[in-house]
Amino acid sequence: MDKTKQEIIDFIAQKNIKLIHLIFCDVLGKPKNITIAACEFEKVYENGIAFDASVFDTIIKQNTSQLFLFPDTSTFSVLAPCCGEKEIQFYCDIKYENGTPFEGDSRYLLKNAVKEAKEQNLECMFSLKCQFSIFEKNTTSYIPYDTGGYLDTFPLDKCEQIRNEICFALQEMAIEPKTAFHQKSPGQNQIDFKHACALKCADDFLTYQSIVEKIAFQKNAFACFLPKPLAEKNGNGIHIDVSLFHQGKSDDEHSIFYESFIAGILNRMREMSVFFNTTEASYKRFETTEIPKYITWSHQYRSQLIYIDSINEKIQPLELVSADSCLNPYLAFTLFIYAGLEGITKQLSLPSPCNLNLYTASQKETQKYQMLPNTLKQAVEIAKNSTFIQGVLPKEVVQSYLQQKQ
């Protein structure tokens, strides 16, 4: 909800707003927050608010420990009643005291990627299909909130009311869920979202996670986004859907431009893996038939790394199905865009589709396909040696991020 400074000041007065939350995140995508009294808004808007960046191991080091948050007024949002009364929030740009953007701000890096895409007459619209688990409050083990399975209803699905309240809260904060349902594992849920621009989608992802955690807590439960919370059950992931618009028009057929973008993603996916699958548990999921581990694409099978629905959508989104919710959405989307742009620039050819069910295919059938890394350690080493990643992300960001993963 884009508003001017004066419109926000007027809104604060008219609605008797008491508190303002200023949100940013570290290099890992972990949200941080400073809360100010509403009367401080104009001052913070003009001058920013300082914080001590030296305290964080997950914010890259610079010559000064003091950085400043400046609210991005396009992210203005009134908190849903379940999250706070008479409170609003903003996502913030991180800057130095002189107003120069902080190079370690992953939100700033995504803005640059979006800008570069627009310079090539390309817009990427993102949407997410997000999975999470609800567990009983227990300090010693994970006890699922219910015994439901895929698309079950009450009484097997006891999470329905929690999901509904999450969707209501999201709608109140101008975030648009499309569908919500029980997933395969006990206590496991999924919410799918409508497309938005890359920056809004990343911001909304952090808000979504916060809302899920708060509502679960209010229900005497806790929410878990970990990729493999239960060893013998399906883990939690996110599917990243991206629709491409070239010169303002959607690619509803496979243009060479569209195919080269996908080829760029496939070409760099091994190098980018640690930014999409960020924990040891992420790679435990690859040991099962839950998610694809081969770098392939198809119209026919969802066992591919990239699936393209050619039947049900007028606009053909490409769907990356291997990621999980522990990612930093700003860095992940940044790399996604740059990899696609590289594919276009280099006019890469899209490989032939893999029209196999890779979950059941034989080793003879799959041995010709390149695989994603098997472990976090391997993913880190591949990223370290990637000239592509070193070329599109600041060196300090790459070093700080990978150091946290070792």
Average pLDDT on 187-204 reads 97
Instruction: Tell me if 205 sits within 8 A of 327, measured CB to CB.
Output: no
Q: Provide the pLDDT confidence category of residue 228 given band limits of 50, 70 and 90.
A: very high
- The tens digit of pLDDT for each residue in 124-148 reads 999 999 999 999 987 678 999 999 9
Clarify whether residues 142 and 45 are in a common domain: no
Instruction: Look at residue 386 in the predicted model and tell me its pLDDT.
Output: 98
Verify that 124 and 90 share a domain, yes or no: no
Say which CATH number the domain at 43 has. Answer: 3.10.20.70
State the average pLDDT over residues 334-347. 97
- Is there a contact between 352 and 246 (Cβ–Cβ < 8 Å)? no
ω into residue 155 within 30 of 0, thus cis? Answer: yes
**Domain count of the fold of the chain:** 2
Examine the domain organization and report whether 46 and 97 are in the same domain: yes
Which pLDDT band holds residue 246 (cuts at 50, 70, 90)? confident
Q: Residue 405 pLDDT more than 70?
A: yes
Domain finish residue from 45, 77, 102: 102
Considering the domain architecture, whether residues 261 and 333 belong to the same structural domain is answered as: yes
Q: What is the pTM assigned to this prediction?
A: 0.95
Quote the percentage of the chain above a pLDDT of 70: 94
Predicted confidence (pLDDT) at residue 151 exceeds the cutoff of 60: yes
Domain co-membership, 71 together with 115: no
Considering the domain architecture, whether residues 289 and 216 belong to the same structural domain is answered as: yes
Segment 67-76 shows an average pLDDT of 96
pLDDT at 72: 97
Check pLDDT > 80 for residue 2: no
pLDDT of residue 362: 87
Give per-residue pLDDT as tens, 247-264.
777 765 568 888 999 999
Confidence of residue 402 (pLDDT cuts 50, 70, 90): very high
248 and 396, same domain (yes or no): yes
Write down the pLDDT at residue 360.
Answer: 85
Within this chain, do residues 131 and 225 fall inside the same structural domain, yes or no? Answer: yes
Tokens encoding 233: 């059950």
Do 24 and 142 reside in the same domain of the chain?
Answer: no
Residues 9 and 136 in one domain: no
User: Is residue 381's pLDDT more than 80?
Assistant: yes
Instruction: Copy the structure tokens of residue 352.
Output: 């032939």
Residue 62: per-residue pLDDT: 63
Mean pLDDT over 182-211 rounds to 97
Q: The domain that contains 199 carries what CATH number?
A: 3.30.590.10
Which of the listed residues 78, 102, 126 is the one where a domain comes to its end? 102
Where does the pLDDT of residue 239 fall: very low under 50, low under 70, confident under 90, or very high at 90 and above? very high
Domain extent, residue 66, equals 5-102
On the question of pLDDT at 301 being above 90, the answer is: no
pLDDT at residue 85, rounded to an integer: 87
Give the per-residue SS3 of the chain. CCCCHHHHHHHHHHCCCCEEEEEEECCCCCEEEEEEEHHHHHHHHHHCEEEEHHHCCCCCCCCCCEEEEEECHHHCEECCCCCCCCEEEEEEEEECCCCCECCCCHHHHHHHHHHHHHHCCEEEEEEEEEEEEEEECCCCCCCECCCCCCCCCCCCCCCHHHHHHHHHHHHHCCCCEEEEEECCCCCEEEEEECCEEHHHHHHHHHHHHHHHHHHHHHCCEEEECCCCCCCCCCCCCEEEEEEEEECCEECCCCCHHHHHHHHHHHHHHHHHHHHHCCCHHHHHHCCCCCCCCECCEECCCCCCCEEECCCCCCCCCEEECCCCCCCCHHHHHHHHHHHHHHHHHCCCCCCCCCCCCCCCCCHHHHCCCCECCCCHHHHHHHHHCCHHHHHHCCHHHHHHHHHHHC
Same-domain status, 186 and 288: yes
How much is the mean pLDDT over the chain?
92
Q: For the chain, how long is the longest CA-to-CA vector? A: 68
Instruction: Say if residue 71 is in the same domain as residue 14.
Output: yes
120 pLDDT higher than 80: yes
Q: Is the pLDDT of residue 60 over 90?
A: no
80, 102, 124 - which closes a domain: 102
